[in-house]
Amino acid sequence: MPIDVRSIALLETCIVNIRYVSMDGSDRLPDAGPDREATENRRLSSPDARYGARLRRKSTALLLLDAIIEAETANLERTLTALRADGSLERAAGQIVAARRRFIIGSAKSRAHATLLHLELSASLSGVALIDEAAVRAIDVLSDVRPTDVLVAFSFRRYARQTGTVAREFAAAGGHVVAVTDDADSPLAAAAGTTVVVSTGSASYSDSPTAISAVVHALATLTAASAKGARRRLARREDLAHALDIYSDE
């Protein structure tokens, strides 16, 4: 008798639950739902631990893809629902618009998110700089922080030390720190005046960047919508793109 994909998925779920119980040492199945998922995600604190728990089981590519899609969809829904309720994203956009100078930082993998926000904000705002330790160095920024400055900092587990240190020094000097992180109790959040919490739960060995990218996009959009001169700046950039012959599709 043929076994369909749903039957296989159900069987694998049972196997995972049995394995979870045996590792935990208890005689009951783990509670379902977001809280249990969040607890399990925190327990798997390294890529190696996550690989062992999530990818060592034999599984078809289709089932693994289904698990990834389910996790990413849940991340987006959980993150955007929470941000809509707590208003932190709007507050962060307000701080960025009100600032005279905007600095962005992210270390290791978070550099990619910081770079994306830098590119997005630069299209509609002036005075945006990425602290990359090349053209813009942290020590130079920290030696001249003003009360009208804002620092948008990205940090996710395992929380790179440099980002937290720069954020603390920036805040101590009187600037406003916007933290984009995965935990309201993360080291970065302790230095922040505004904290945007993003869900990074994953079906893979690495934490998910999907909701982070969505938050970057939403933050840049909210900022551009409130920034004076944003439309004029975008129109001027479009004229320059034609003049400099940047794009191949024109």
Per-domain boundaries in the chain: 86-241
How many C-beta neighbours within 10 Å does residue 96 have?
25
Cα 230 from Cα 221, distance rounded (Å):
11
Q: Over the stretch 175-231, which tens digit does the pLDDT of each residue have?
A: 999 999 999 999 999 999 999 999 998 888 889 999 999 999 999 999 999 998 888
What is the structure's pLDDT at 11? 39
Tokens 């330790």 belong to 133
Question: Average pLDDT of the chain?
Answer: 85
pLDDT of the residue at 49: 73
Report the predicted TM-score, pTM, of the whole model to 2 decimal places: 0.77
pLDDT 10s digits, 73-92: 999 999 999 999 999 999 99
Q: Please tell me the least confidently modeled range out of 49-53, 62-66, 113-117.
A: 49-53
Phi and psi angles of residue 180, each rounded to the nearest 5 degrees, phi first = -110, 110
- What pLDDT shows up at residue 9? 45
Between 200 and 1, the more confident residue is: 200
Q: Select the highest-mean-pLDDT range: 3-7, 11-15, 82-86, 241-245.
A: 82-86
Euclidean distance between CA atoms 241 and 113, whole angstroms: 24
CATH class label, 86-241: alpha beta
> Does residue 154 have a pLDDT over 90?
yes
Average pLDDT of 120-143?
97
Confidence of residue 1 (pLDDT cuts 50, 70, 90): very low
pLDDT, position 55: 65
- For residues 242-249, give the mean pLDDT: 90
Provide the β-strand partners of residue 151: 103, 177
Segment 231-246 mean pLDDT: 92
